[in-house]
A and B are shown apart, each in its own frame.
Chain A
Amino acid sequence: MISISFRRRATDRIMKTLFLLSVFLVILPLVLIFFDLLWKGAKELKWSLLTDLPRPVGEPGGGIANGIAGTLTLAGLAMAGGIPLAVLSGIYLAEYGKGVLASLVRFAVDLLAGVPSIIMGIFGYVLWVLPMKRFSAWAGASALAMIFIPIVVRTTEEMLKTVPVPVREAALALGIERWKTTLFITVRTASAGIITGILLAMARILGETAPLLFTALGNQFWQTGLDQPIAAVPLQVFSYAISPYDDWHDKAWAGAVVLILMVLVLSIGARVLTRERN
Chain B
Amino acid sequence: MNSRGNIKDFLFEKTTSLFALCVLALTLLLFALLVRESLPAIRKIGASFVTNTTWDPVLEEFGALPFLYGTVVSSFLAILIALPLGVGAAIFINEFAPDWLKTPVSFLAELLAAIPSVIYGLWGIFVLLPVLRDYFMKPVSRVLGWIPLFQGPVYGPSMLAAGVLLSIMIVPFILSVSREVLATVPKVQKEAVLSLGGTRWEMIRIVIGQHCIPGIFGATILGLGRALGETMAVTMVIGNRPDIVLSLFQPGYSMAAVIANEFTEATGELYLSALVEIGLVLFFLTIVVHLVAKLILNRMVPEARKGAAR
**Chain A residues at the B interface, C-beta cutoff of 8 Å:** 2, 4, 8-9, 11-12, 15-16, 18-23, 25-27, 29-30, 32-33, 36-37, 40, 84-86, 88-89, 91-93, 95-97, 101-102, 104-105, 108-123, 125-127, 146, 149, 151, 153-155, 158, 177-179, 182-183, 200, 203-204, 206-210, 213-214, 217, 234, 237-238, 241-242, 249, 252-253, 256, 259-260, 263-264, 267, 271
Residues B89 and A109 in contact, CB atoms below 8 Å apart:
no
Please give the distance in Å from B107's CB to the nearest CB on chain A. Answer: 8
Please give the distance in Å from A148's CB to the nearest CB on chain B. Answer: 12
The answer to whether the Cβ of B225 comes within 8 Å of any Cβ in the partner chain is yes
The answer to whether the Cβ of B171 comes within 8 Å of any Cβ in the partner chain is yes
Residues B92 and A119 in contact, CB atoms below 8 Å apart:
no
Residues B256 and A252 in contact, CB atoms below 8 Å apart:
no
The answer to whether the Cβ of B119 comes within 8 Å of any Cβ in the partner chain is yes
Interface segment, B57-65, B135-143, B184-192, B281-289?
Answer: B281-289
Beyond the given A96-B13, A179-B13, A263-B116, please list 16 additional residue pairs across the A-B interface where CB-CB is below 8 A.
A4-B197, A16-B201, A18-B88, A25-B89, A26-B85, A26-B175, A36-B126, A86-B23, A115-B287, A118-B259, A119-B34, A122-B279, A123-B33, A234-B232, A259-B116, A264-B114
The answer to whether the Cβ of B243 comes within 8 Å of any Cβ in the partner chain is no
Bound Cα distance from A120 to B127, whole angstroms: 30
The answer to whether the Cβ of B108 comes within 8 Å of any Cβ in the partner chain is yes
Residues A119 and B123 in contact, CB atoms below 8 Å apart:
no
Q: Given the interface contacts A116-B230, A118-B260, A122-B34, does A23 sit within 8 Å of B24 by beta carbon?
A: no
The answer to whether the Cβ of B8 comes within 8 Å of any Cβ in the partner chain is yes
Please give the distance in Å from A168's CB to the nearest CB on chain B. Answer: 13
Residues A252 and B20 in contact, CB atoms below 8 Å apart:
no
Residues B22 and A85 in contact, CB atoms below 8 Å apart:
yes
Please give the distance in Å from A82's CB to the nearest CB on chain B. Answer: 10
Query: Considering residues B9, B12, B289, which has the most beta carbons from chain A within 10 angstroms of its beta carbon?
Result: B12
CB-CB under 8 A from A121, the residues of chain B are 259, 263
Please give the distance in Å from B310's CB to the nearest CB on chain A. Answer: 8
Q: Given the interface contacts A22-B85, A146-B26, does A242 sit within 8 Å of B236 by beta carbon?
A: yes
Q: CB within 8 A of A207: which of B22, B116, B172?
A: B116
Residues B112 and A29 in contact, CB atoms below 8 Å apart:
yes
CB-CB under 8 A from A12, the residues of chain B are 199-202
CB-CB under 8 A from B47, the residues of chain A are none
Please give the distance in Å from A67's CB to the nearest CB on chain B. Answer: 12
Residues A89 and B20 in contact, CB atoms below 8 Å apart:
yes
The answer to whether the Cβ of B276 comes within 8 Å of any Cβ in the partner chain is yes
Bound Cα distance from A121 to B276, whole angstroms: 11
Residues B119 and A260 in contact, CB atoms below 8 Å apart:
yes
Which residues 168-198 in B have Cβ within 8 Å of A in the complex?
168, 171-172, 175, 197
Residues A30 and B111 in contact, CB atoms below 8 Å apart:
yes
Which residues 96-151 in B have Cβ within 8 Å of A in the complex?
96-97, 105, 107-112, 114-123, 125-127
Bound Cα distance from A200 to B111, whole angstroms: 12
Please give the distance in Å from A179's CB to the nearest CB on chain B. Answer: 4
CB-CB under 8 A from B105, the residues of chain A are 23, 27
Bound Cα distance from A252 to B118, whole angstroms: 10
The answer to whether the Cβ of B51 comes within 8 Å of any Cβ in the partner chain is no
Residues B264 and A214 in contact, CB atoms below 8 Å apart:
yes
Q: Given the interface contacts A108-B24, A241-B236, does A27 sit within 8 Å of B108 by beta carbon?
A: yes
CB-CB under 8 A from A112, the residues of chain B are 23, 26-27, 30
Bound Cα distance from A85 to B92, whole angstroms: 41
Residues A93 and B27 in contact, CB atoms below 8 Å apart:
no
Query: Considering residues B28, B119, B120, B260, which has the most beta carbons from chain A within 10 angstroms of its beta carbon?
Result: B119
Query: Considering residues A8, A183, A214, which has the most beta carbons from chain B within 10 angstroms of its beta carbon?
Result: A214
Residues B118 and A237 in contact, CB atoms below 8 Å apart:
yes
CB-CB under 8 A from A253, the residues of chain B are 122, 126
- Can you list 10 A-B contacts with CB-CB less than 8 angstroms, sorted by A residue number? A23-B88, A27-B108, A88-B15, A91-B16, A110-B294, A122-B259, A125-B263, A151-B309, A200-B310, A214-B263
